[in-house]
């Protein structure tokens, strides 16, 4: 009986481990075209990757609205938005949370940039930024700096919530020289 229980637990753990990586895909690399997206923002407006062409775009994936790390990252982007805008960069956040959750999060912290709802996780998966554990699914904390032509300029895997926006500002200053 113990052997059977142990086998079932190991099989379940293996399946969950496989599932968490099987749907994540590989993150696009610098120089590759940015994956296209068409997702609703916190106000229900559908936003597409094409509307940001001609400008730099900091596309950041985050796990969950109104959690400590995600709040810190979003507020750092909010506080640094003026510097990013001066460098020709727009900011867009993406998670698998619903638009209504994004609306509450954006209002609570006065976030002036779009938060996109990738409820099915399809865009996060194409960007290697989806963690799917079966019953629990969330975006990994990855950021992609996309150039005005729609190509990935920089990739920030496991982005640091306290430094991500400043890293992007620093890199933009180098890339736009």
Question: Residue 99 sits in a domain of what CATH number?
Answer: 3.40.30.10
Residue 121, in any domain of the structure: yes
Residue 77, in any domain of the structure: yes
Number of neighbouring beta carbons within 10 Å of residue 157: 12
Among 70, 75, 89, 127, the one annotated catalytic: 70
Determine the pLDDT at residue 23: 44
**Total number of domains constituting the chain:** 1
**What secondary structure, in 3-state letters, does the chain show?**
CHHHHHHHHHHHHHHHHHHHHHCCCCCCCCCCECCCCEEECCCCCEEEHHHHCCCEEEEEECCCCCCHHHHHHHHHHHHHHHHHHHCCEEEEEEECCCHHHHHHHHHHCCCCCCEEECCCCHHHHHCCCEEECCCCEEECCCEEEECCCCEEEEEECCCCCCCHHHHHHHHHHHHCC
Determine the pLDDT at residue 1: 59
Which domain range does residue 168 map to?
25-175
Residue 48, in any domain of the structure: yes
Euclidean distance between CA atoms 91 and 79, whole angstroms: 12
Determine the pLDDT at residue 20: 40
Euclidean distance between CA atoms 124 and 96, whole angstroms: 8
Residue 127 is a catalytic residue: no
Residue 7, in any domain of the structure: no
Yes or no: say if 63 and 138 are a contact pair by the CB < 8 Å rule: yes
Number of neighbouring beta carbons within 10 Å of residue 75: 15
Residue 8, in any domain of the structure: no
Residue 115, in any domain of the structure: yes
Q: What is the pLDDT along the chain (177 residues), one digit of tens a residue?
A: 555 544 444 445 444 444 444 445 789 899 999 999 999 999 999 999 999 999 999 999 999 999 999 999 999 999 999 999 999 999 999 999 999 999 999 999 999 999 999 999 999 999 999 998 888 999 999 999 999 999 999 999 999 999 999 999 999 999 998
- pTM (predicted TM-score): 0.86
Residue 97, in any domain of the structure: yes
């Amino acid at each position: 009986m113990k052997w059977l229980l142990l086998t079932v637990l190991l099989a379940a753990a293996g399946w969950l481990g496989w599932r968490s990586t099987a749907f994540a895909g590989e993150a696009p690399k610098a120089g590759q075209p940015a994956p296209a997206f068409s997702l609703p923002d916190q106000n229900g407006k559908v936003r597409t990757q094409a509307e940001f062409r001609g400008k730099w775009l900091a596309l950041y994936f985050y796990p969950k609205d109104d959690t400590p790390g995600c709040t810190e990252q979003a507020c750092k982007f909010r506080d640094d938005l003026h510097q990013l805008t001066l460098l020709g960069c727009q900011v867009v956040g993406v998670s698998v949370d619903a638009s209504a959750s994004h609306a509450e999060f954006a209002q609570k912290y006065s976030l002036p940039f779009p938060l996109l709802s990738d409820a099915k996780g399809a865009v996060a998966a194409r960007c290697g930024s989806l963690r799917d554990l079966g019953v629990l699914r969330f975006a990994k904390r990855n950021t992609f700096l996309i150039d005005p032509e729609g190509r990935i300029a920089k990739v920030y895997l496991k982005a640091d919530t306290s430094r991500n926006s400043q890293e992007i500002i620093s890199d933009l200053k180098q890339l736009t020289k």
